[in-house]
Structure 1
């Protein structure tokens, strides 16, 4: 077999930084048609091998509280710096007091039977994020907590240690789906503590400006979270192994009147998640708000 050319062996290293401070930014990087998705470390560095000038796929950079950046791979040729532009997130005015709290999307967690985030049947789970929509009676409340039900044990009855990120979104009035981030800091959950992950969000001072908001799970596609599931491939008449990533997120056992689950695909688009319909109208994510 002939050896690889110099262009094929080349490793293109990029640094993702804030456009104003020049500090590194932890970023989700997606190559669309290839369906490749990684999350950088805190140094904001990632590598693409090969000759970029010959590549025609699209790459998307998505970091919390930054404007998403989309470009073609060949436009990266000759560059090593990617600058992302941060947008302002409204903060609660000082001295604002909240006296009461309430739990949204409540259900009996012992009755959760179905989970999203893993390949099922012949359906591969090709989504970057999964979001639960919440509707409030009043705007201007403070989000103080989230409770996430996820699958704990695998086929060998071992605990599924995992880490993932929570994204909190305002509503996009144009689509009705998730819009801009409402949290200014990265919220990372590192979990080995059972079926329910309790996230204390008080320190993030997240104010919900409208009557609709979203809590999303962002998968971190790295070695720590990687696993394999088997699905039956009818064209090959056999089961094949498909790579998937933890966590798998529960679906509420209560069927709602409307669909409240949205998913972000590899193009960075938010779409209603209809796979479990008509039963699966809501994820098994609860929210605690103060007002």
Structure 2
């Protein structure tokens, strides 16, 4: 009953969202380092004429709201150690990436040298380019229709056994379809599993590590730091699985028009009327993209009826899910 009550409240709120949305203009996006593509926290984001200011959070995500938009206003992004960047609001795109260049070239060189010294390697690497042009390049790959309320696993091969898993990065999107109406939800919970490959079936096998991830914004690029967890992968072949949690916090409720049979006449004619059709989808919506350099397809498994099987329905080039290992 609690679950149904929650949905009822959401649907009531949903009915009023169109009225409120016309009163506010939202600017949101993610700020990253142009050299490393790491999110930058603490960047000051300011609308110069409106004089409204905010800061990026630890994932580099920002949001700005205002009652009335000034057409020729400018968004300014500034942070210590980076060149200030100005973006006319006329060039703004929803949930766009803002790339800042470091003001000190020597600093970049030191950071690159440190990464090389640590012998870190990124497996399944994707770039912010693969995420930012997700829609404009005609890509329509997404995962929620296939893996809602189940799990998806991607296969990785480490350079050697006994590597340490440091970071998992994933690319995500807002609801990718275009329904009549959808309630945007920034709060997302899901599980990640680090799994060994079953030597007989080749499918995901023993679980080495599980962690619950909670997100509170709509950032496209999510880095999950695992340094404190000290995860050592004893073999070269392993999987990273994303398990969707079936709870109200992950729900995206959409409303669209549908035809409902009101009555049937004596002659057998059906009389219909317009009715609202509600559907529930579950976050996170991961990104599939076309790997234009290698045209590589990820080996993906999907969990169906508690059994892992090759995900043949997933028609995409690659999945925006990477693992950084140290060796």
Query: TM class by shorter-chain length?
Result: 0.5 to 0.7
Structure with the larger helix share = 2
Which residues of 2 match residues 119-268 of structure 1 at below 5 A? 119=145, 125=147, 128-152=150-174, 158=184, 160-183=186-209, 186-192=211-217, 194-229=219-254, 241-254=278-291, 256-265=295-304, 267-268=305-306
Q: Structure 1 pair 230/253, CA: closer, same or farther in 2 (3 Å)?
A: farther
Q: Distance in 2 between matches of 1:115 and 1:177?
A: 23
Q: Distance in 2 between matches of 1:260 and 1:173?
A: 15
Q: Structure 1 pair 133/256, CA: closer, same or farther in 2 (3 Å)?
A: farther
Q: CA deviation at 1:214?
A: 1.1
> RMSD between aligned alpha carbons?
3.3
Q: Structure 1 pair 174/281, CA: closer, same or farther in 2 (3 Å)?
A: farther
Q: Deviations over 1:135-170 (max 9, x none)?
A: 122111000101111113676694633121111111
**Is structure 2 residue 147 aligned with structure 1 residue 108?**
no
Residue 313 of structure 2, aligned match among 266, 275, 281? 275
- Greater gyration radius: 2
Q: Deviations over 1:70-129 (max 9, x none)?
A: xxxxxxxxxxxxxxxxxxxxxxxxxxxx9411111112333343443323xxxx645511
Contact 1:164 1:219 in 2 (8 A): yes
**What SS is found at the alignment partner of 2:122?**
strand
Q: Structure 1 pair 257/153, CA: closer, same or farther in 2 (3 Å)?
A: closer
Work out the number of aligned pairs and report it. Answer: 185
Q: Structure 1 pair 131/232, CA: closer, same or farther in 2 (3 Å)?
A: farther
Q: Distance in 1 between matches of 2:257 and 2:157?
A: 39
Contact 1:115 1:150 in 2 (8 A): no
- TM-score of the superposition, structure 1-length normalised? 0.55
Q: Distance in 2 between matches of 1:231 and 1:284?
A: 30
Q: CA deviation at 1:282?
A: 2.7
Q: Structure 1 pair 148/231, CA: closer, same or farther in 2 (3 Å)?
A: farther
* Stretches of structure 2 lacking an aligned partner (at least 5 in a row): 1-116, 135-139, 262-274
What's 1:118 paired with?
144
Q: Distance in 1 between matches of 2:147 and 2:299?
A: 18
**What SS is found at the alignment partner of 1:216?**
strand
What's 1:70 paired with?
none
**What SS is found at the alignment partner of 1:160?**
coil
Q: CA deviation at 1:248?
A: 0.7
Q: Distance in 1 between matches of 2:283 and 2:243?
A: 10
Q: Distance in 2 between matches of 1:204 and 1:171?
A: 21
* Stretches of structure 1 lacking an aligned partner (at least 5 in a row): 1-97
Contact 1:128 1:219 in 2 (8 A): yes
Q: Deviations over 1:165-198 (max 9, x none)?
A: 1111111112212111111x53323241511111
Q: Structure 1 pair 141/257, CA: closer, same or farther in 2 (3 Å)?
A: same
Q: Structure 1 pair 271/232, CA: closer, same or farther in 2 (3 Å)?
A: farther
Contact 1:227 1:243 in 2 (8 A): yes
